[in-house]
Homo-oligomer: A and B are copies of this chain.
């Protein structure tokens, strides 16, 4: 069994977001997705993002407000959201005191996935 610690993981900063990418754990042969944690300080938000990978996100601390496709969703701790390929998104932390932390898994579209048809 292997363990992964958000707090001690090697990180980088994107704007004021702390990002811990799972590439450092070299799990490519074992795990069918890429992954990262990112932490958004109170009052901040992620840059507008858009990528070919689908992305499943779990809120592991705080509350996320996600803007995507002209809609806004509040995602509470423990809950999840799935972004389709190329779907634009911004993740906001509207708290004035609590850090938001999200775990995201992402992967290229699967063969046989024809989206929302």
* A78→B101 contact, CB < 8 A: yes
A96 close to B (CB within 8 Å): no
Apart from A29-B113, A31-B110, 10 more pairs, CB < 8 Å = A1-B68, A1-B82, A3-B79, A3-B81, A7-B78, A30-B84, A30-B109, A32-B33, A61-B77, A78-B103
A87–chain B nearest beta-carbon distance, Å:
6
* A3→B80 contact, CB < 8 A: yes
| Complex CA–CA separation, A79 to B37 (angstroms) | 10
Give the residue name and chain of the B residue nearest to A89 (CB).
B1
| Complex CA–CA separation, A110 to B105 (angstroms) | 17
| Complex CA–CA separation, A79 to B35 (angstroms) | 13
Which of B59, B79, B103, B110 has a CB less than 8 Å from the CB of A30?
B110
